[in-house]
Amino acid sequence: MSVDHTYLAQLRKDLSSKSAIIPALNELSEMANDTASVEDSAFIEVCHRAFTVLNTRFSATAYWQAGLELFLNVQFTCGEAGVSLPECNEWVSRALEESDEDAKARAKERMRASVRSKPGNP
């Protein structure tokens, strides 16, 4: 599936709105499950923008938790697709720092499950 750049531009714009950022992050998170998205430079640029916005404008836990889902999905999909995106590790680490304990526990369990599901891991 190819990335709709018009829709992506709207989501990028929504990242600047307090009332629209969480739905935008959730939609980006869904898109991040698709290899075509993580291979698209415009999608990755919007993910960079999301990280910047979370660091500079909307730093409440709820925003970071939505960002954590996005960044984890990007990280996992990049790994599966063989796409190198080293800054994604920083995004996940920062989002984990800012998320509540329940979100941290869910994310860590998800990371463990991902490692276990890779071929060659018990």
Q: Report the predicted TM-score, pTM, of the whole model to 2 decimal places.
A: 0.87
**pLDDT value at residue 121:** 55
pLDDT per position in the chain (122 positions), as tens? 689 999 999 999 999 999 999 999 999 999 999 999 999 999 999 999 999 999 999 989 999 999 999 999 999 999 999 999 999 999 999 999 998 888 888 888 877 776 656 555 55
C-alpha 122/C-alpha 120 separation (Å) is 7
C-alpha 50/C-alpha 28 separation (Å) is 9
| 13 contact partners, CB below 8 Å, separation of at least 6 | none
Core vs surface per residue 102-119: b (16+ CB within 10 A) or e:
ebbeebeeeeeeeeeeee
**pLDDT value at residue 113:** 76
R_g of the chain computed on alpha carbons: 14
